[in-house]
């Protein structure tokens, strides 16, 4: 989009700290990117932007989505707001520019079509249905603007490609885990006495549970990296009444003239092939340092087979060396040979081959006592029975347990982490029922240890650890679990109480570090 040509409703000059430039896209295509006009440090705010369309707008919020349309409720609100602006001739040049110039690659590119052949036709059907519904509601009242199916389809495709959203009914991990309020020493954007309940009302209407979703022009120029140097944060508006805003914050040092990059998805612990599948559905084949192998694929890990690394000290991960991908140990520098790599791949296949049984076990379709052969069950059993965590001083990284039955996989492998994440956040009742309180806190600590061991192997001085959303959220829940245990202190000895207080402090430290990068004071 030629942002300089838009009318006074949008001022590109309001953002002198960044510039929009043409970048070389895939296949020689010319794309746009957002670049830093000056250097930024990690934690520094780059820009704050107001949306062009947002579900918190009074017109959008007053609109009640209809079940007659398959279109997601937040998009229904945005379409209605768009139509209202068009009918009243508001933001006309801005909206013209959006419809003509913003990317639709998440729907209409060759890669997106290949990833989901039916999505484009589905969105076209949605546009036709919306037009019919709009006319039935009396939308065509003689105004100069009349919607077309092509225009509405383009807007839907643009929203799919460029919109930013956040579930406002699940903002718990932004609250101080001890008090349930946002700490006042964070950004003024979060400087509020927000006392949201830790759980939403089960009887709350679906319309009030929609995500906060919006379209921002400058943020639409941001390209992706699986190792981003920036993050986008959208503060809540539903309960605070604040105006919607998007905050672009630096999370890694950025030089003047360097492109600003964000992560298009919220999964930082997926192996490369899985990440690329997600990103192809967004319309591009990622070639960031992590996807191209220039940075070790820390989430796909194997135990080093060299004698000096026995006991889980060394972790081998794929990384490009001398022009080829090799499994290099971060402890001794050795590499797995072809036979060892084949053994790793076979173990990966074994784990994934058990996944259907794992799911059946966790939802109760298969009794747990019939699943003791499963790798996942063995992990839970070992953690809950025998792992005694030694807490490091001053918030140092926790060491993950050594689980020899996983060999040649290392416990930091994404297969293990993804299962633990699923069991902790989706099936916690089953976990506590089968393995008790010890099982829950062991899984939580193991996940934290996996993240810290894996990200520390990147050798960036702890920067990846500090900006990790996974680590911040796990820190939050570690505090909550420690609080739960401390409430039972009358049944425990002084040593046990001191241990859980130490765990609470460790979790809080990790949460606070992450919050500094998410919404620290400018």
Whether 283 and 105 have beta carbons less than 8 Å apart is answered as yes
**What distance in Å separates the CA atoms of residue 120 and residue 109, rounded to the nearest whole number?**
10
**What distance in Å separates the CA atoms of residue 441 and residue 385, rounded to the nearest whole number?**
12
Whether 467 and 514 have beta carbons less than 8 Å apart is answered as yes
Whether 298 and 457 have beta carbons less than 8 Å apart is answered as yes
**What distance in Å separates the CA atoms of residue 292 and residue 277, rounded to the nearest whole number?**
14
Query: Any bridge partners for residue 130, and if so which?
Result: none
Handedness of CA 47, 50, 55, 56 (dihedral sign): positive
**What distance in Å separates the CA atoms of residue 139 and residue 289, rounded to the nearest whole number?**
49
Which residue carries 């899984």 as its tokens?
443
**What distance in Å separates the CA atoms of residue 452 and residue 319, rounded to the nearest whole number?**
19
For each of the domains in the chain, give its residue range(s) and CATH number, in order of start: 3-169+204-280 (2.170.270.10), 340-519 (no CATH)
Token digits of residue 61: 């919020």
**What distance in Å separates the CA atoms of residue 255 and residue 36, rounded to the nearest whole number?**
7
Whether 315 and 410 have beta carbons less than 8 Å apart is answered as yes
Cβ atoms within 10 A of the Cβ of 319, count?
19
**Which is nearest to 47 in space by CA: 57, 56, 60, 34?**
34
Angle at 424 between CA 418 and CA 426, to 5 degrees: 85
**What distance in Å separates the CA atoms of residue 514 and residue 462, rounded to the nearest whole number?**
12
Q: What is the residue-level pLDDT of the chain in tens, covering all 522 positions?
A: 444 434 334 555 578 899 988 877 655 566 789 999 999 998 899 999 999 999 989 999 999 999 999 999 999 999 999 999 998 887 888 898 899 889 999 999 998 999 899 999 999 999 999 999 998 887 766 667 889 999 999 999 999 999 998 776 666 788 889 887 655 544 333 332 223 333 334 444 444 455 789 999 999 999 999 999 999 988 877 666 677 889 999 999 999 999 999 999 888 999 999 999 888 888 888 889 999 999 999 999 999 888 777 655 789 999 998 889 999 999 888 999 999 999 999 999 999 999 999 999 999 899 989 999 999 999 999 998 866 555 665 556 788 888 889 999 999 999 999 999 999 999 999 999 999 888 998 999 999 999 999 999 998 888 999 999 999 999 999 999 999 888 876 666 788 888 888 889 999 999 999 998 877 545
Pairing of strands 212-215, 230-233: unpaired
């Amino acid at each position: 989009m030629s942002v300089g040509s838009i009318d006074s409703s949008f001022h590109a000059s309001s953002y002198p700290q960044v510039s929009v430039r043409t970048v070389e896209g895939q296949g020689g295509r010319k794309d746009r990117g957002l670049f830093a006009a000056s250097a930024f440090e990690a934690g520094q705010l780059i820009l704050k932007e107001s949306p062009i369309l947002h579900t918190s707008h009074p017109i959008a919020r007053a609109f009640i989505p209809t079940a007659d349309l398959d279109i997601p409720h937040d998009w229904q609100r945005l379409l209605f707001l768009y139509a209202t602006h068009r009918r009243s001739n508001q933001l006309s040049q801005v909206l013209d520019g959006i419809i003509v110039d913003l990317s639709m690659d998440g729907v209409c590119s060759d890669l997106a079509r290949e990833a989901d052949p039916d999505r484009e036709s589905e969105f076209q059907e949605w546009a036709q249905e919306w037009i019919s519904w709009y006319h039935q509601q009396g939308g065509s009242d003689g105004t100069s603007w009349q919607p077309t199916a092509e225009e509405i389809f383009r807007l839907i495709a643009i929203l799919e490609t460029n919109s930013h959203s956040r579930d406002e009914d699940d903002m718990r991990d932004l609250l101080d885990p001890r008090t349930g309020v946002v700490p006042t020493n964070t950004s003024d954007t979060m400087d509020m006495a927000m006392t949201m309940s830790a759980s939403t009302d089960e009887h709350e209407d679906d319309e009030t549970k929609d995500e906060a979703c919006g379209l921002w022009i400058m943020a639409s120029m941001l390209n992706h990296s699986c190792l981003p140097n920036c993050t986008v944060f959208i503060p809540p508006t539903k309960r605070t009444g604040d105006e919607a805003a998007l905050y672009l914050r630096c999370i890694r040092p950025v030089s003047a003239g360097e492109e600003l990059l964000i992560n298009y998805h919220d999964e930082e612990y997926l192996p490369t092939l899985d990440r690329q599948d997600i990103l192809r559905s967004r319309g591009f084949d990622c070639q960031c340092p992590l996807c191209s192998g220039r940075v070790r694929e820390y989430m796909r890990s194997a135990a080093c087979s060299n004698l000096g690394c026995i006991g889980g000290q060394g972790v081998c991960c794929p990384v490009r060396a001398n022009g080829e991908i090799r499994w290099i140990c971060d402890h001794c520098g050795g590499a797995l040979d072809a036979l060892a790599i084949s053994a790793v791949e076979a173990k990966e296949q074994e784990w994934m081959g058990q996944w259907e049984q794992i799911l059946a076990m966790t939802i109760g379709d298969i009794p747990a006592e019939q699943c003791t052969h499963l790798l996942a069950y063995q992990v839970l059993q070992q953690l809950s029975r025998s792992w005694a965590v030694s807490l490091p001083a001053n918030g140092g990284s926790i060491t993950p347990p050594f689980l020899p039955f996983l060999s040649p996989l290392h416990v930091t492998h994404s297969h293990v982490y993804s299962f633990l994440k699923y069991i902790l956040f989706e099936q916690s009742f089953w976990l506590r029922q089968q393995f008790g309180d010890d099982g829950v806190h062991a899984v939580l600590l193991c996940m934290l240890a996996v993240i810290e061991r894996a990200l520390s192997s990147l050798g960036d001085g702890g920067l990846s650890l500090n900006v990790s959303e996974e680590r911040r959220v796990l820190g939050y829940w570690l505090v909550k679990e420690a609080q739960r245990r401390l409430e039972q202190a009358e049944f425990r000895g002084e040593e046990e109480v001191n241990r859980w207080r130490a765990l609470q402090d460790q979790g809080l430290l990790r949460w606070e570090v992450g919050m500094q990068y998410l919404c620290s004071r400018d």
